[in-house]
Amino acid sequence: MAMEKTLPSYQQDRIKINDGEKIVSARPHALSDKVFNFCPGCTHGIVHRLVAEAIDELGIEGETIGISPVGCSVMNYDFFNCDMIEAAHGRAPAVATGVKRVHPDKIVFAYQGDGDLASIGTAETVHAATRGEHITVIFINNAIYGMTGGQMAPTSLPNQVTQTSPYGRDVSKVGFPIRMSELLATLDGPAYIERVACDTTAHIRQAKKAIKKAFENQVNGVGYSFVEVVSTCPTNWGMTPQAAFEWLRENMLPYYPLGVYKDVVADGFDDALGAAAARAADCPIAQQKREA
């Protein structure tokens, strides 16, 4: 990919370009020089890069404000070059809401893992979605708590062995995994929800498209966009990276099918509001026109 743009002034020392040379491939502007602290084979690094590429390609780095989660990506405020805020565990959607309400013209995204988004922060997740906050949420689902050392997550699979389900997740006692994309797709607020994976080149390309679209939707005022990335955790799954990808394909993808769960634009609407109104066509009060 050719990068025609020059680097921002504060980054010009980063890459030396000699006369007659052209950048063909480079670290995205939106990623800092900091070395990732992720384990080998973890897909966080890939997803960070995809987010940064999307920000670069849309030319929105200077206008973007990101919210970091608590979890393995807790320090991604150091990895992204845009302004960043570190949130309390699970509260990123609420923090993002506060930021977006102050700066409706800025691009605001939250990057969260499964414990953060689907357990301690479920209320914040569901309500930011149903409010249709104009934010972009990137959700890493690797079926385990990584940073704390491999405990059962809200998305851990039935019978999956973790530190806190040492005999395997017993659904008769601790219940079932949550499929967040499906759950959020029942709400009127979201404009776009897609589940992707980063285990193959083809899937990574699809993930990139989805992430870029999730940001583009915000630029275009379409509404709340959510991309779930089915991911691996070789360290806490106790597998080699390659075996982890195999396990993902064998066990996670059947439980968490990839695909688009909601896309109001593809459904022919301008935004989430239009789709919600159509769904409530028989409810008179929901059809009342509001003053701007």
Residue 32 or 151 having the CB closest to another protein: 32
> Two tokens at 184?
């959020």
Residues 58-87 that bind another protein (CB under 8 A): 61-65, 67-68, 74-75, 77-78, 80-87
103 interacts with another protein by CB under 8 A: yes
> Two tokens at 6?
């020059």
Closest CA to 190 of 288, 260, 255, 120: 260
> Two tokens at 130?
């149903």
Binding segment for another protein (CB under 8 A), chosen from 15-23, 119-127, 227-235, 278-286, is: 119-127
- Give CA–CA dist 91/125, Å, rounded: 8
Q: 277-281 — which CB contacts under 8 Å span 24+ positions?
A: 279/188, 280/188
Binding segment for another protein (CB under 8 A), chosen from 18-26, 90-98, 158-166, 230-238, is: 90-98
* Residue 80 CA: distances (Å) to CA of 10, 85, 142: 14, 11, 21
How many positions of this chain bind another protein (CB under 8 A)? 39
The amino acid sitting at 276 is A
The amino acid sitting at 146 is G
Q: Given candidates 31, 47, 96, 207, which one binds another protein under the rule CB under 8 A?
A: 96
Residue 34 or 205 having the CB closest to another protein: 34
The amino acid sitting at 192 is Y
Q: Would you give the binding string for another protein spanning residues 23-62, x where CB under 8 A is met? A: ---------x----------------------------xx
258 interacts with another protein by CB under 8 A: no
> Two tokens at 267?
């459904």
Residues found near another protein in the complex (CB under 8 A)? 8-10, 32, 61-65, 67-68, 74-75, 77-78, 80-88, 91, 94-99, 101-103, 106, 123-124, 126-127
